[in-house]
Structure 1
């Protein structure tokens, strides 16, 4: 990660890159590619956790339209489940809960 602030999008891209490297390593039998992929995925997960912590500090849903917030939460949760992103599911569930 660079000196910039952690970001969810960058973290997701880095995770996908790591997963691709791991697949290449599995196909070719290259331990170097597998290790690189695992390291990228681990770094991406750490970055996404850091970005979530920063966002949690800044998040205040109290002034948001409750029905819009609920719809966003449902959509984000469903998309997270579809792509296997635990963080998106958690964030969506938080939005749904905040809309109650």
Structure 2
């Protein structure tokens, strides 16, 4: 069972992708008036935030993208990416 856990560790990139998916679903729900789409989007966003928090806590800052990650975080409004980018930049 531990090998399964190792292969499915939370990923920052996967978390961001899931968050974008949730934002998209929520937008579709808002435009169409579909509560199912809105609810699904909000659930995906909440799960993505948890995934990113876990991945960030377990992350080796030397594996980050430094300034690029920091700037992308600033552009998208993701405080976690800004923090992780700054930490990666310092360890590089």
Structure 2 length normalisation: TM-score?
0.79
Mind listing any 5+ residue stretches in structure 2 that lack a counterpart?
Answer: none
2: CA distance between counterparts of 1:77 and 1:33?
Answer: 31
| Structure 1 residue 21 corresponds to structure 2 residue 25 | yes
Pick the aligned partner of 2:70 from 52, 77, 88.
77
Shift of 1:37: 0.2
Work out whether residues 26 and 42 of structure 2, in 8 Å CA contact, stay in contact via their aligned partners in 1. yes
Shift of 1:60: 6.4
Shift of 1:93: 1.9
2: CA distance between counterparts of 1:60 and 1:79?
Answer: 16
Offset from partner CA, 1:39-60 (integer Å, 9 cap, x none): 00000000011011111xxx36
Structure 1 length normalisation: TM-score?
0.73
Higher Rg of the two aligned structures: 1
